[in-house]
Each structure stands twice: as structure tokens, then as C-alpha cells.
Amino acid sequence: MKPTAALADVKFKNVLYLTDFSEPSEAAFPFAAAVARGYGAKVYAFNVLIPAPYVYTTPDLTELAIEAEEEVALSEMKKVESQLAGLPHETAVERGAGVWEPVERAIREHGIDLIVLGTHGRTGAQKFLLGSVAEEIFRRSPVPVLTIGPGVLSGSHNAARFHRVLFATDFAPEAAAAIPYAISLALKGNARLILLHVVRKIGARNEREAGSVEISVAEAIHQLYEIPPKDAGLNSPPEVAVEFGEPANRIVEASKERGADIIVLGVRDAAGRLGAATHLERSTAHKVVAHASCPVLTVRG
């Protein structure tokens, strides 16, 4: 779909706010609420209750543990619901062996067009929305995912009106899927659109890592300027930048240097295994989400 046509399809009507009631989830809540207010959307607050096997020793204790977990989750969800007063909303606590299947079902059943979640930005732990699980969601989700990482300051949501939107691209087809969302956010907030391409430094270990090193700076700048459609309606010409270095680090640093308050990335889907994704490969996208000082919107290409 061409960016101009796709712009008309960028609507956030049903926002899925994923929570495990942790501090990162609480940090993501203002963004979910602000997006809902800004776009006139309904919020579906959703918790997936994953069993904790170590407490299940006998059938009786298992039943008691399940009841206790559900009671705590329902109590926490009531607190979330009270915060959603004044917004169209629904809440649900669902038990599952894993996170993705219940989330996928919720996306389908509720017509979700945006997921908002918080993450610690770490991997290797069992907690619900740690880095590895958050990445599984944004790799598999058919709708955009707004991830609030540990570096995002509380109170920085600006009523979901972002003033400087940074779109990072390697010019791959997967990256193009995120273009309409970057432009839409810029239009919504009357924001400056920043278009960034990172050229890997010469001496990358292999051809795949070298990636975009073959493209000239002049060609990269030309392609960046060609990204917004002529009739996009931006309030000012986009700011373009070509950086050199390791993509994740440069994207994060460039967002800070240019005062971006949201980063938009196109990512490749899991395709049977997490990690296959051009220059926004697993390590790159994950690092950006984990270390950015602003929210990151990922769009699966």
C-alpha cells in the first residue's frame, strides 16, 4: 500500500493496554490513556495471568494458589479501571500458559489497532512484560505496538501529542510499513518529522552487517526526502539525517540529540523465530526499545 493511501487507514479506535501491574506497566498507562483521549479510542485493559509452577506442589495447594493469584490480579485490575474513569473502556484478566495467544485473541475479538505496554527492557526473566516477551509481542502483532521502556520519564506523554517524531529506516520494505504512522503522528501533533538513516561503519564483520554501507550519503539523503508523499500535509519540510555507526546506538543517540519524543520503527515479523529483521534486526529493535528515552512505536512490515 502506498504511503498516501495508507495515511487514511491510520486510526486508533481500540487500544489494548497490556499490564502485569508492575512499575513499567504503570509507567505505560498514561500513554495508553492519552492516546485514547487524543484519538477518541476505547481502552481494553488486559492482564494475562501466567501460572507460577513453583507454588504448585499438591492439587489442593495448586487450587489455593490459583485462587490467590486471580484475587490479586482482579484487585489490581479494579485499580486500573478506576484510573480509566471518563474513558470508554473494558478490563479483563485471563489465564494463559503464555502471553501471545491470549493477546492475539484479544486483538481479533476487539478490533484492536494499537497495543501499549511497558517493559523493563531486560531478557531472561519470567516476569510478564520483560524485554523478551515485549519483543515477541511487537514482532508478532499485526497492529502497531507502543512500547514504554525504562528510560522514558514519567509525565512525558504530552497528551499523546508528539512534537518531534523520529522515523528510522534502512529503506527495506519492512521499514516502509511504518511510514504512514510516523506521518500521522507528526500531523496529529503538528510536529516536526525527522527522517534518519544509519550507515553501518566500514569494517562490519560480514556482508549482512555491512548492509547499507554500499549506499552513498547523497543517495540516502535523496531517498529520505522522498519518503513523505507530496500531499502529506506536513507543516514543514522534514528534517533528514544520515548517521554512521551501530544502528541501535545511533538511533537512540540521534533521538536524544534532536529532541525526539517518539521513535517509529518498521520491523520484520518473527517468521518462525525472533530475530530476522534487516538493519532493525532483533538486537537493534530490542536495544532501541530498551534504551530510548522516549516511547517507541514499532510497526510490523
pLDDT for res 151:
87
Phi-psi sector, 190: left (phi>0), alpha (psi -120 to 50), beta: left
- Read off the CATH number of the domain in which 170 is found: 3.40.50.620
295, HSE (Cβ side, Cα atoms, 13 Å): 36
Cβ partners under 8 Å of residue 35, min gap 6: 12, 15, 41, 114, 116, 146, 160
Neighbours of 102 (CB within 10 A): 20
In a domain, residue 155? The reply is no
For 80-134, how does the pLDDT look when each residue is reduced to its tens digit (9 = 90+)? 999 999 999 999 999 888 899 999 999 999 999 999 999 876 544 434 444 567 8
Query: How far is the C-alpha of 292 from the C-alpha of 152, rounded, in Å?
Result: 7
* Regions of the chain where pLDDT drops below 50: 1, 5, 123-130, 204-213, 272-279, 281
The amino acid at residue 146 is L
Count: domains in the chain: 2
Q: Are residues 15 and 117 in the same domain?
A: yes
Residue pair 212/227 in contact (Cβ under 8 Å)? The answer is no
pLDDT number for residue 8:
54
| Helix, coil or strand: residue 283 | helix
Q: Give a yes or no: residue 286 inside a domain.
A: yes
Please tell me the predicted confidence (pLDDT) of residue 215.
Answer: 76
pTM score, whole prediction: 0.86
With beta carbons less than 8 A apart as the criterion, state whether 31 and 153 touch: no
The whole-number pLDDT of residue 148 equals 92
Domain boundary among 113, 148, 183: 148
Residue 168 and residue 125 in one domain: no
What is the model's pLDDT at position 158?
Answer: 64
67 & 107 share domain: yes
Q: Which domain holds residue 274?
A: 161-300
Answer whether 279's CB lies under 8 Å from 250's CB.
no
Residue 1: what pLDDT? 45
